[in-house]
Amino acid sequence: MALEVFAVEGYRGTSLRKVASLCDLSLAGVMHYFDSKEDLLVQILRERDARNEISGTIEEQEGRLADILGQGHHEPGLIALYVTMAAAAADPEHPAAAYFHERNARLLKISEDSYYADKPAPSAEELQYLHAVTRMVLATADGLQQQWLVDRSIDVVGTMKLLMEQTHEATERKLETLRAAAADA
């Protein structure tokens, strides 16, 4: 699909009629494939995620995340679309709501699975802590991109690396504490 073409180049107040003409189609020709404009926009995000699949070990994932964030600098339109849809997803009825719920659950699971691939199963307390940390890292990635839209001089990748560095230290320390406490009991 050439859906992304227009969105990559620039998502502003792009109307469906402009999209249609860029695809050498008429308005209804476009609407035949989508339930609504919002649905179209969300599907663009879905396709981007499909391209940016994440896998591998935690270290590989974090490197991949940094790559994706850096690559995003070439498609500000998609970043703006992502942020806009996140706001729209405040309404549970909006198609973006389902998208973000699925996405968050998927990312959380990927992170969890890879972290415990070569480790013994975690305690419930450990798992809860790791979920919180993962959500924090993902939130920072989102927030940095949001700020980058406003100020393109912000170093998204560098700041993420700063966060990951300090998070690794803190997490290792915390998990050791938790395990020691569990061993005592």
- Residues found near a copy of itself in the complex (CB under 8 A): 12, 76, 79-81, 83-84, 86-91, 97, 100-101, 104, 132-133, 135-136, 138-144, 146-147, 149-151, 154-155, 158-159, 162-163, 165-167, 169-170
Q: How far is the CB of 13 from a copy of itself (least distance, A)?
A: 9
Closest CA relative to residue 4, chosen from 70, 81, 67 = 81
Q: How far is the CB of 34 from DNA (least distance, A)?
A: 8
Identify whether the C-beta of residue 42 lies closer than 8 Å to the C-beta of residue 50. no
Count other C-beta atoms under 10 Å from residue 90's C-beta. Answer: 9
16's contact among DNA, a copy of itself, none, with CB below 5 to 8 A by partner kind, is DNA
Q: How many residues bind DNA (CB under 7 A)?
A: 19
Q: Is 135 exposed, middle or buried (0-12, 13-18, 19+ CB in 10 A)?
A: middle
Separation CA 27–CA 157 (nearest Å): 39
Identify whether the C-beta of residue 132 lies closer than 8 Å to the C-beta of residue 167. no
The region of 18-26, 73-81, 115-123, 154-162 touching DNA under the rule CB under 7 A is: 18-26
162's contact among DNA, a copy of itself, none, with CB below 5 to 8 A by partner kind, is a copy of itself
Residues in contact with 97: Cβ distance below 8 Å, sequence separation at least 6, in sequence order: 89, 91
Q: Does the protein bind DNA through residue 28 (CB under 7 A)? A: yes
Q: How far is the CB of 2 from DNA (least distance, A)?
A: 12
| Complex with DNA: residue 84 or 147, whichever CB lies closer | 84
Instruction: Return left, alpha or beta for 25; rule: phi > 0 is left, psi -120 to 50 is alpha, else beta.
Output: beta
| Complex with DNA: residue 34 or 100, whichever CB lies closer | 34
DSSP 32-59: TT-SSHHHHHHHHHHHHHHHT---S-HH
| Complex with a copy of itself: residue 112 or 142, whichever CB lies closer | 142
What residues line the site for DNA (CB under 7 A)?
Answer: 13-18, 20, 24-29, 31-33, 36-38
